[in-house]
Structure 1
Amino acid sequence: MAMPSEGAITPSRLGVYVGPGKTDAVDNSRTWLGRSQMDATDYLDPSENIKWNQYATKYWGDWKKAGADRDFVLGLHLLPKGGNFADGLSGKYDDQFRTLADLMIKNGLGNSVIRPGYEGNNKNIGPWQGTDDPAAYRAMFRKVVTLMRARAGAAFQFDYNMAVGPSGKVTSFETLYPGDNYVDIVGLNIYDVWWQRPAATPSQRWNHSLTTVMGVNDFKEFAAAHKKPKSYPEWGLYQKGDSYAGGGDSPYFIDRMAELVQDSEYQAYFDHDWGGGTLDDFPNGKEQYRVRFGG
């Protein structure tokens, strides 16, 4: 039986990721939902400053200026392509981060939320993963924040953003935490999966996300202990059929997330196929998403 809240619109700041630089697709999502407010998220590597980053920051800056109540959230690689912590901490990449900050400020994105080294507890996320060397991750996070904050006109907020679950040397949210002075928001990415548990029911998968180490319950305690606002920068459904053991077309997950994000600083549905599908692949979940997050 549906809970009473499952037909109610969820009051939260809403964002979406629909692909790199796809400003029109963000607007299409906003129109489909019938909302006046919609934020956008995207991802950049600091080593792309002379090419894609120039275009992307202009695209998103123009998009932000074109409408009221729009914010931009950036998932930022903590190391450039082919980079390593030793070179990063020695200052080899400093100019790349300064240049990116200047590009964002120049294009009207100087008050954006930045997620440096997102999902550092995910061993496969990129060269900046912190599961092997937490101390280097923490130090690099602090360096990037310091570099970007120092640019003229900067008013960035920095989100310490992990995924659900421990990995390697990362056994709690404290492991990679760079310190309160370098963090404005703490974030958690959640997908409707339970690794190698394809027979799990929707409620069992959700309970796992709540109670596992570095799950939702631990995250809430961590945020409260550090007196930081919470975010859910990436969340979404995931199709069945691979070892991630996604729940497929699950309105139940949409409803649980709609309840969870109500007290968040911001949250964004990851509506781009990284292997688990998009909202269009889940007709029941998509309709429930519009019920819960539509205008």
Structure 2
Amino acid sequence: MGAFTSSGADGVRRIADLRQWLGGTDLTVGHTYLPGESWRDIEGDPGLIQPWAQWKKERPDRLFVLNVPMQERNEQHVSDSQVRSLLRSGAAGRFDGHFTELARRLVALGVPDTVVVLGWEMNGTTYTHRCGPDPASWKTYWNRVVTAMRSVPGQRFRFDFAPNRGQDAIGWTSCYPGDDVVDIIGMDSYDQPPGDSFYDQVEEPFGLQAQVDFAAAHNKSISYPEWGLFRNGDNPDYMRMMLQWITDHRAVYQTLTDYCPHGVWQCDDNPKSSRVFRSKNFAQVEPVPVPSPVPTPSETPAPGQAPAPGETPAPAPSEMPTPTPTPGETPAPGGTLTPVPAPSPGPDTGTAAPAPTVMVPVPVGFFRPAPTLGSPPAPVERCLPLDLGEEYKSRFGLSQLCFRVEWQVPKKS
């Protein structure tokens, strides 16, 4: 998880502020863009990349994502005929050296495993690196760029093919350059028409479901380099369902575009969506593993309790850590969360280290206990409210989940 907060050193600093706003949530993806005014920009200004490289190298689990234009004058509304000519020049190898230079700089700065989002939103009309004027030349050009960057010793780049969601100017599958030069199939997906509802965005041609299906057919992982709110306004239902979609489909990474009108932290225009984003992502940190107690030699398992050869006994329920609930959420029925200190070895001096607090479930009387004798008690019925958002409620009419529990007493004890 990450967010685009700004380019260069400002973006790096703001990651720490966003993390604090999210209650300490781990933000392990850093995302920035190379400008595309000139080939010098595309070769990568070390002053822009270096702060991100330093941030990335501080922790091995961090990911650096870099959007790389494929043409200079990339946002100057160059005509289709000019784009067609430039794509053919790229396909012939005219621009290979610029991308080799970029690859060398990334390796030299210590980020040889950068995720390169090359020629993003190629199915649209905005950028000079768009695909529509000549898809065949565009695909050949992409292959040349990837080959040039992979030729640099020490590189371990991954290349992310990331179109706009939907049809746009051309169906993005017509621009797909081949499995051997693509590692991730991404999608930039903002809340805007023609996807008036989230279901439209899933089901439309070349939409979210098409991306997932295409990636599965090509044995690729998926990503969402850019996503956020847009022309549909402050839409908490979209925010809730997009976050769930990303989780359910196990995107390798996702970065929210966090400035107005798309964002939630640096944009005051979307307070309802901001609350959803913050509540769904609040205080998500990797749990510290706590070792299970190891019996001392004097402790002998009870007769009949010894594990089978080659098997390890499962920890008792009281030893199983349970995540701390997100603020505003209620623990699941059947348990409350009570802090239980866990032992922790101290330093070599023999001093005991502070024991971490592990949250474990402690049963409460949500249901009556099953009787051991006599007639069963009356059935128990419960209803729980479902916070599915207005769109789910209107589509399916669901607002609560009800269930009934009955007991049976066996005839023989």
1:223-234 to 2 correspondences below 5 Å: 223-234=215-226
Shift of 1:267: 0.7
Q: Which amino acid aligns with 1:272?
A: Y
CA distance in 2, matches of 1:232, 1:89: 27
CA distance in 2, matches of 1:226, 1:50: 29
SS at match of 1:162: coil
Aligned to 1:268: 255
Shift of 1:52: 6.1
CA distance in 2, matches of 1:116, 1:51: 13
Aligned to 1:133: 134
Runs of at least 4 residues off by over 6 Å: none
CA 1:227/1:51 → structure 2, altered by over 3 Å: closer, same or farther? closer
**Is contact 1:75-1:114 (8 Å) kept?**
yes
Aligned to 1:48: 40
1:28-79 deviations in whole A, cap 9, x for unaligned?
1122222234211111147235996221121111121234522110111122
Shift of 1:261: 0.7
Report whether the alignment pairs 1:248 with 2:233: yes
Q: Which amino acid aligns with 1:284?
A: K
CA distance in 1, matches of 2:97, 2:228: 35
**Is contact 2:43-2:98 (8 Å) kept?**
no
- Which TM-score applies when normalising by structure 1? 0.83
Aligned to 1:155: 156
- Structure 1 window deviating more from structure 2 (251-260 vs 44-53): it is 44-53
Aligned to 1:211: 203
CA distance in 2, matches of 1:157, 1:19: 22
SS at match of 1:75: strand
CA 1:49/1:129 → structure 2, altered by over 3 Å: closer, same or farther? closer
Q: Which amino acid aligns with 1:145?
A: V
Report whether the alignment pairs 1:24 with 2:24: no
**Is contact 1:122-1:167 (8 Å) kept?**
yes
CA distance in 1, matches of 2:62, 2:159: 17
1:53-109 deviations in whole A, cap 9, x for unaligned?
221121111121234522110111122236821332232222211111111111121
1:1-295 to 2 correspondences below 5 Å: 14-21=1-8, 22-33=11-22, 34-44=24-34, 45=36, 47-49=39-41, 53-81=45-73, 84-124=86-126, 126-168=127-169, 170-171=170-171, 173-195=172-194, 204-238=196-230, 246-262=231-247, 263-273=250-260, 276-279=261-264, 280=267, 281-294=269-282, 295=284
CA distance in 2, matches of 1:51, 1:160: 19
Q: Which amino acid aligns with 1:54?
A: P
Q: Which amino acid aligns with 1:109?
A: V
CA 1:50/1:143 → structure 2, altered by over 3 Å: closer, same or farther? closer
Q: Cα RMSD between the aligned structures? A: 2.0
CA distance in 1, matches of 2:43, 2:122: 26
SS at match of 1:191: strand
CA distance in 2, matches of 1:219, 1:68: 29
CA distance in 2, matches of 1:51, 1:232: 24
**Is contact 2:42-2:102 (8 Å) kept?**
no
Structure (1 or 2) with the greater helix fraction: 1
Higher RCO structure (Cα 8 Å, ≥6 apart): 1
Shift of 1:146: 0.7
Shift of 1:17: 0.6
CA distance in 2, matches of 1:67, 1:213: 39
**Is contact 1:189-1:233 (8 Å) kept?**
yes
Q: Alignment length, in residue pairs?
A: 263
- Which TM-score applies when normalising by structure 2? 0.60
SS at match of 2:26: coil
SS at match of 1:98: helix
CA distance in 1, matches of 2:148, 2:90: 12
Shift of 1:27: 2.0
SS at match of 1:174: helix
Identical columns (%) = 29
1:154-210 deviations in whole A, cap 9, x for unaligned?
000111111111134x23x42011110001110111111114x8xxxxxx5212111
Larger Rg: 2
